[in-house]
Amino acid sequence: MVHFFCAEKGHFGGFSLNEQLRLLRELQDVDLELKAIEADKERYPMEIKNLDEKLVSEKEMFKKREERIELLEKERRQKEGDLELEQERMKKAQSKLYDVKTNKEYQALLVEIETLKEINSQREIEILEIMDEIDELKRKYGRMQKELQEMEERIGAEKKQLEESLGKVDGALASKKRKRTMVTKKLSTELIALYQTLKEKRRTAVVPARFGACQGCNMKIPPQMFNEVQKSEAIIVCPSCNRILYWEDKIDYR
């Protein structure tokens, strides 16, 4: 139990101060762990959602490629159909050449045949271009299919891990909360109150004093006070930021 708080010196007094300081640090550690677990609890579902969205967008891109190939195949079939009809027309025109009666008719047929020839060779070029594009897309498509499959497996594994971690979060939270209750039971109410106030105001409540300075605000501590921190016989707060000070060596080699 802490019996008094000496405001002008910034000391708490009481028995087993060393133990109280140790418990305060433990409380702070537990609180930091709790905060981290709570952050994980919020983060995991968001990460899972992001992974799902990533996969959906990849699949959509893949589908667009597929649709592009389908469209080109359709275009190719269309053009091949046209080419066939025009070749048919050309054959008819060529066979008519032997039946024409007048030179005028003959010349007109020759012009028609020539025009059809041009159209057909243009059509053939177009078909070849489409086929090239299809080949190129199919090559990329095969690669994408493999990449997509790999990505699906990777995302699946990541998701499984996240879901497993998420499943453990509530248990971890409950266990840390139990530990917190156990620690606070052993701490004096005055110290808990001071700790809470400092935590809300300064985020960290208990900080080491190192090289004669408070490691919370980096301000120098008067030498006399630093000696007292080293003795660990009283709760001493930093004169600048009011954080509770501890001497690391003393704590670490307890």
- What's the closest the beta carbon of residue 9 comes to Zn ion, in angstroms? 15
Residue among 161 and 218 whose Cβ is closer to Zn ion: 218
The site for Zn ion, by CB under 5 A, has a size of: 6
- In the bound state with Zn ion, the residue whose beta carbon lies nearer, of 130 and 238, is 238
Determine the Cα–Cα distance for residues 204 and 188; give it in Å rounded to an integer. 18
Of the residues 241, 248, 250, 251, which one makes contact with Zn ion according to CB under 5 A: 241
- Residue 131 C-alpha from the chain's centroid: 40
CA–CA distance, 84 with 79 (Å, rounded to integer) = 9
CB of 218 to Zn ion, least distance (A): 7
Q: Which of residues 174-193 bind Zn ion (CB under 5 A)?
A: none
Q: Which is nearer to Zn ion, 44 or 247 (CB)?
A: 247
What residues between 198 and 237 interact with Zn ion by CB under 5 A?
214, 216-217
The stretch among 38-46, 48-56, 71-79, 238-246 that binds Zn ion (CB under 5 A) is: 238-246
- Which tokens in the block code for residue 133? 């594009």
Is the distance from CB of 248 to CB of 18 less than 8 angstroms?
no
Contact 76, 134 (CB under 8 A): yes
* Residue 210: CB minimum distance to Zn ion, A: 12
Q: Given candidates 230, 240, 248, 250, which one binds Zn ion under the rule CB under 5 A? A: 240
Q: Output 94 or 240, the one with its CB closest to Zn ion.
A: 240
Our CB check for Zn ion shows the closer of 30 and 205 to be: 205
Place of tokens 């080491």: 208
Question: Cβ closer to Zn ion: 208 or 216?
Answer: 216
Contact status: 238 vs Zn ion (CB under 5 A): yes
Min CB(33)–Zn ion separation in Å:
23
Q: Tell the smallest beta-carbon distance from residue 202 to Zn ion (Å).
A: 9
- In the complex, least distance from residue 242 CB atom to Zn ion, rounded to whole angstroms: 7
Q: Nearer to Zn ion by C-beta: 87 or 240? A: 240
Q: Which residues bind Zn ion (CB under 5 A)?
A: 214, 216-217, 238, 240-241
